[in-house]
Amino acid sequence: MSRLNGAICVVTGGARGIGEAVCAAFVAEGATVILTDIDAAAGQAAADRLGCQFITLDVREESDWEALATQVPKADVVVNNAGVTGFEEAMRPHDPEHASLEDWRAVHAVNNDGTFLGCRYALRAMRAAGTGSIINVSSRSGLVGIPGAAAYAASKAAIRNHSKSVALYAAQQGWSVRCNSVHPAAVLTPIWEPMLGDGPDREANMAALVADTPLKRFGTPEEVAAMCVFLASDDSAYMTGSELTVDGGLLAGSAASPG
- List the catalytic residues: 152
Q: How many whole angstroms separate alpha carbon 223 and alpha carbon 175?
A: 29
Give the DSSP H or E segment for 187.
Answer: none
Give the DSSP H or E segment for 204.
Answer: helix 202-209
For 67, the 3-state DSSP assignment is helix
Three-state SS for 12-55 is CCCCCHHHHHHHHHHHHCCCEEEEEECCHHHHHHHHHHHCCEEE
How many Cβ atoms sit within 10 Å of the Cβ of residue 199? 8
